[in-house]
């Protein structure tokens, strides 16, 4: 009886597989990009957010399906190696979600549909090779880049130069974040130079709106402060001559930084979104939502 009382709920492995604590960052990406694309009727936003959600969660499911053998060695608590769900079921669910995500984008128009199809292909490619190639951060960045472009193309004005600059800013940030996340499981020493990519959104937001604009001036200290809070423990260990070999302690520091930086994607969107007023309050709410969800479901 006691074992039954402490049994993991059936829905929890599904949430863990989908890394749903990161969904607020997907929604903020869709919202910011949609505004960069000229926005439009609010009713046209929901298939963009729903499609982005399905593409993200489906991609995360396939990620675990491809990584099941490695997870059995380094992360045996993950749903597949722990026996909570089979690899075949995870693969089937992930593939269905990707298909539905592409269909929702295609419902908004042919251009978003084709871009979403390219995004789905990029997701599968990343999931298949990300543990085998040093170019994995570029593939991850490309996925978020294409999500931005797909969401913006569903806006009233569609694609523009500002959209691609915004997508580039997000992609560079995610590339830097991915370089750090690659070392989370093993705790290996981080290539700190790659973290310079995390400041790319500041430079591009300044180019788009001016460094002295009211919004950039307001959001920049928040963004910089959050980066410092996330990275300071790693920098402190590096300054103290931390050991280069893998360790559970260094892996824990990296995991904490990665979780915080993932939530920080919402702050990147806040820097890039071309609107002002009360609509901006949605982004702090999504940021808080990401942090709260990370307490219940691991972000990585």
Exposed, middle or buried by CB within 10 Å (0-12, 13-18, 19+), for 99? Answer: middle
Phi, psi of 65 (to 5 degrees): -65, -45
270 vs 281: CA distance, rounded Å: 9
5 vs 205: CA distance, rounded Å: 51
pLDDT tens, position by position, 153-187 = 999 999 999 999 999 999 999 999 998 877 654 44
pLDDT tens, position by position, 40-66 = 999 999 999 999 999 999 999 999 999
Q: Which CATH superfamily is domain 10-294 in?
A: UbiA prenyltransferase (1.10.357.140)
Instruction: Give the 3-state secondary structure of residue 242.
Output: coil
**Could you tell me where the DSSP H helices lie in the chain?**
2-5, 11-18, 23-36, 46-66, 68-74, 87-108, 110-129, 136-153, 161-181, 200-209, 214-239, 248-263, 265-272, 282-294
51 vs 45: CA distance, rounded Å: 10
Going 145 to 39 to 104 to 61, the CA torsion angle's sign is positive
pTM for this model (two decimals): 0.90
Residue 131: DSSP 8-state? T
Domain segments of the chain as ranges:
10-294
Contact 102, 50 (CB under 8 A): no
Contact 176, 195 (CB under 8 A): yes
Copy the structure tokens of residue 278. Answer: 């009360």
The reported pLDDT for the residue numbered 22 is 96
pLDDT tens, position by position, 110-138 = 999 999 999 999 999 999 998 888 889 99
Task: For tokens 């399906």, name the residue.
Answer: 65
Choice between 216 and 285, residue whose per-residue pLDDT is larger: 285
Percent of the chain with pLDDT over 70: 88
- Confidence band, pLDDT 50/70/90 cuts, at residue 254: confident
Choice between 300 and 243, residue whose per-residue pLDDT is larger: 300
Average pLDDT, the chain: 88
């Amino acid at each position: 009886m006691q074992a039954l009382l402490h049994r993991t709920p059936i829905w929890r492995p599904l949430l863990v597989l989908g890394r749903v604590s990161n969904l607020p960052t997907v929604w903020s990406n869709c919202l910011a990009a949609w505004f960069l694309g000229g926005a439009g009727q609010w009713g046209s936003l929901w298939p963009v957010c729903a499609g982005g959600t399905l593409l993200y969660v489906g991609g995360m499911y396939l990620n675990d399906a491809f990584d099941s053998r490695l997870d059995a060695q380094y992360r045996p608590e993950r749903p597949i190696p722990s026996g909570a769900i089979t690899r075949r079921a995870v693969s089937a669910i992930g593939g269905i979600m990707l298909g539905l995500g592409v269909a929702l984008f295609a419902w908004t128009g042919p251009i978003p549909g084709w871009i979403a199809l390219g995004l789905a292909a990029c997701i599968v490619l990343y999931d298949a090779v990300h543990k085998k190639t040093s170019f994995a951060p570029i593939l991850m960045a490309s996925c978020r880049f294409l999500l931005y472009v797909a969401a913006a193309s569903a806006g009233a004005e569609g694609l523009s130069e500002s959209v691609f600059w915004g997508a580039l800013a997000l992609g560079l940030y995610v590339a830097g974040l991915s370089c750090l996340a690659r070392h989370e499981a093993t705790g290996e020493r981080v290539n700190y130079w790659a973290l310079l990519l995390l400041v790319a959104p500041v430079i591009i937001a300044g180019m788009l709106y001016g460094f002295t604009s009211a919004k950039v001036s307001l959001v920049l200290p928040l963004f910089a402060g959050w980066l410092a809070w996330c990275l300071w423990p790693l920098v402190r260990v590096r300054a103290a001559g931390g050991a280069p070999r893998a360790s559970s302690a260094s892996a824990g520091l990296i995991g904490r930084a990665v979780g915080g930086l993932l939530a920080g994607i919402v702050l990147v969107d806040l820097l890039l979104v071309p609107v002002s007023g009360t609509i901006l309050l949605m982004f702090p709410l999504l940021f808080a939502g990401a942090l709260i969800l990370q307490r219940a479901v691991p972000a990585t």
